[in-house]
Structure 1
């Protein structure tokens, strides 16, 4: 065998690998650019909760985020403290992974795995996240001194679980979720913007069901399209306004409502939410809140999506 029989393939192989790597990187870069341009960098649908005083980030699917938002909103609407919301969220995280399960141990169902045979309600009621969260809170507040108890003990007195210590591991994440929906935290939800039209009346009805009209918010009877500075927003709008002199309680309700709208955006066809200094736009800024649509430095007359200080403006795809 001559010396020239095999050296050439050995030399070519690294060159071929290198060329293949360049092609692969180019393809990755191309699709990344395309994805960024069409999705606003949102990637696959997902939500992340964060709070300023903790490095912990809680990642969720849109389904989990929507259910977490409903649990938090129901607690806030009832005027319950953050501790109650944290206990409820940790319980649902353990029982169902924040999924509205149509099955469970024996006849257990829903977010909290409540049992019709144990007096929690009918199957239809338990599978309604607003109802199931509401009855959980009712039984929680009946526990004397629940807010001072360890989370595992408070949750166990409501749930009567066979594994009461399992709730403890969810307390840090539940605390972050509580802050994101009702306190000093933030929820971001990325992914493509909804393409199918939503139903503004359904959004209005669901939020009115959670936030009774005689409590934190009032809502117009019909969604509205608002012309501002000669412009007209193309989406159908549902606006909720904090009650005058509602103070911190009303502001907390608005925070929970805005978080609910973002978390449920995919299922409800919500494309924009304006609240406080910022706004959230589906499919943009990787799901982060930005100074676009909020009052943040822009006057209402200059931005057709800007919100007043006491408003939560929700825009639904048409």
Structure 2
């Protein structure tokens, strides 16, 4: 007797369906086990937080490092914290605090943190792709805006940028102000970062090179994995919170200033002895392999 073709097809379908059911069941069990894991045992994603007026704003460590560069350059230039707020808000809107090597709505040749256009006189493509150059170019233009510190942020930013979306900068004002205020030193201990353990050793020389690129020459001493940088007041807090913002990239374990210390282990500023008028950085040293 001839066999029924439909019955032959169905015998292969049942095992496949069973495998799908078992796979979904396994995924469900795994998801439930993760959700039931105590929160204090779950790994936290790396993130940096700036707090202002009781509100916390979050950025990735890489984007916080960029905000720290922009803010630190304003400190070096002796500009008010408002300038850093305007610049950080602009960079958030234009590039998401990323050094983009392509253009968007600003124009086909726009590049970098501020999407500056070489065709509009901002410099060469190579120059605007250098974050320090780009930030200084933005501040050069901002300083030419009369009473920029007293203008609404979006007006000051738009006067510099001449964007097709002039009102968009205002969307980032609160976030930019929180990060800029901390990173210029006007809001002490307002910036923290939650980071995983370092994957490699840091270098005091690399830390000081990065710091001087932003702030210019600093007075510093190095003893082993400890760097002591002269600084007080808002300038000291700018240096300290710049270091926290760059702790991921530079493999820093701790930053101490003004009787407070941020540590990678806690991710917070806690009371701790610290030298007067100095920022103390501890560079991570990986255990030597025997």
Q: TM-score range by the shorter chain?
A: 0.7 to 0.9
- Find the partner of 2:202 among 173, 192, 198: 198
Separation in structure 2 between the aligned mates of residue 124 and residue 200 of structure 1, nearest angstrom: 29
Report the CA distance between 1:25 and its aligned residue: 5.4
How far 1:123 sits from its partner (Å)?
2.8
Name the counterpart of 1:207. Answer: 211
| Inter-partner Cα distance in structure 2 for 1:33 and 1:148 | 45
8 Å Cα contact 1:195/1:317 also seen in 2? no
CA 1:33–1:211: 2 relative to 1, 3 Å: closer
Q: Is the 8 A contact 1:56 1:173 kept in 2?
A: no
Q: Does residue 50 of structure 2 align to residue 49 of structure 1? A: yes
Correspondence for 1:77: 76
SS of 2:51's partner is: strand
Q: Is it true that 1:270 corresponds to 2:252 in the alignment?
A: yes
Q: Determine the structure 2 residue equivalent to 1:62.
A: 61
| CA distance in structure 2 between the aligned counterparts of 1:120 and 1:127, rounded to whole angstroms | 11
- Structure 2 unmatched runs, 5+: 1-27, 286-290
CA deviation vs aligned residue, 1:94-125 (integer Å, no higher than 9, x gap): 11111222212311111111122222223333
Aligned-pair RMSD on alpha carbons?
2.3
Secondary structure of 1:50's aligned partner: strand
Contact 2:255 2:262 in 1 (8 A): yes
Please, which of 90, 104, 111 is the counterpart of residue 113 of structure 2?
111
Distance change >3 Å, CA 27–CA 257, structure 1 → 2: same
Given that 1:50 and 1:179 are in contact with CA atoms closer than 8 Å, whether structure 2 keeps it comes out as no
1:254 aligns with 2:236: yes
* Residues 85 and 181 in structure 2, CA contact (< 8 A), matched pair in contact too: no
Matched residue of 1:290: which SS? Answer: strand
* 1:238 match: 227
Contact 2:128 2:134 in 1 (8 A): yes
For structure 1, the residue ranges without an aligned partner over 5 or more in a row are 1-19, 226-235, 243-249, 296-306
TM-score by length of 2: 0.80
How far apart, CA to CA, are the structure 2 residues paired with 1:290 and 1:125?
Answer: 41
Contact 1:44–1:191 (CA<8 Å) still a contact in 2? Answer: yes
Among candidates 177, 184, 187, match of residue 184 of structure 1:
187
Q: Spell out the pairing of 1:1-318 with structure 2 (5 A cutoff).
A: 24=32, 28-29=36-37, 32=39, 34-35=41-42, 43-51=44-52, 54-105=53-104, 106-181=108-183, 182-185=185-188, 186-213=190-217, 217-220=218-221, 223-225=222-224, 236-242=225-231, 250-282=232-264, 284-285=265-266, 287-291=267-271, 294-295=272-273, 307-318=274-285
* Relative contact order, higher structure (CA 8 A, sep 6+): 1
Detail structure 1 runs of 4+ shifted over 4 Å in the superposition: 23-27, 32-35
CA deviation after TM superposition for structure 1 residue 55, in Å:
2.6
TM-score by length of 1: 0.73
